Amino acid sequence: MEEAKPTNIFLQVKEIITATTTTVTRPPNPTSPPVPDLSRDIPINPSTKTWLRIYRPPQLTPKKLPVILFFHGGGFFLFSASTAFYDSSCANIARSVPAIVLSVDYRLAPESRLPSAYDDALDALLWLSDEGAQDPWLQEQGDLSRCFIMGSSSGGNIVYHAARRVFSGVGLDLGPVKVVGLILNQPFFGGVERTESETEDDDVLPLRATDMMWRLSLPVGADRDHEYCNPSREEVATKGDEYLLPRCLVRGHVGDPLINRQRAFVKLLKGRTEGLVAKMEEEGCHAVEVFDPELAKKFVSDIRDFVVSS
């Protein structure tokens, strides 16, 4: 099979990121509007200007559907819930799983550095447990006792750190919402010391690009061994969390320069979740489901299998 090539938006991102280490101009972001009766936009927190796009499948089902709270990728500083390829992917997941999907438009760095995105994730969960429980689509079709938190790339990082807060007992009352699974697709992690896979040249996610993403998104003065970036660092990994995360699906591809980080993350999760499904050995680059229709089908199939079995 011929190797899938990045879309123009990713090539633009690479060119802009590698052009300078001091400034970033976000490239044009092709967006899609909501589709009447299938998706719509809802505000979450007026003070932070966060919002979400909710999707439902085109066919009503007699059985209530699982709810997937989704966080897009983009190195914490690019894209949105309305970005065309994420909009298309979420609509496909809603149709194919089937599920109610809520894609969160969280604050971006460097205007809002981490942990802002993690805070926004908790806001989204609290919205879901309160106003969301009154939403007509969720009332009619959603099963809030079967919620999943899902993210791709930096969105996968958000899923992990938000879930740690939720399950460590920070006093959140999620009411009817029960998170039964986490889905982390090619989660974005890093570290000061390079892994072998990070040293290989990559057209989609060059090392200089990931370094800049972390410089823009981590708290001022933090390096790439900060726990937001490198949860596998020994001092962080051995803290011994006393709580279990719910069942987890972690996906990776051997052509992704982050694959060694993701493998280390899977090792970190062992014994710390109620169940772990790791799919790490398939060919493909970072964000390959955006480029390759066949691997996009596999991506959705893995999500469906995990949701159905959870």
Active site residues: 153, 256, 286
User: What is the side-by-side order of every strand in the sheet holding 65-71?
Assistant: 39-45, 50-55, 100-105, 65-71, 142-152, 179-185, 247-253, 276-282
Rounded CA separation 266/270 (Å):
7
CA 168, 171, 174, 178 torsion-angle sign: positive
Rounded CA separation 154/168 (Å):
21
- C-alpha 100: how far from chain center: 16
Contact 123, 139 (CB under 8 A): no
Q: What is the largest CA-CA distance in the chain?
A: 54
Q: Which residues have a Cβ under 8 Å from the Cβ of 254 and sit 6 or more positions away?
A: 280, 281, 282, 283, 284
Beta-strand ranges (E) seen in the chain are 39-45, 50-55, 65-71, 100-105, 142-152, 179-185, 247-253, 276-282
Rounded CA separation 76/118 (Å):
11
Rounded CA separation 212/40 (Å):
33
SS3 state at 43: strand
Strands 247-253, 179-185: pairing is parallel
Rounded CA separation 161/38 (Å):
30
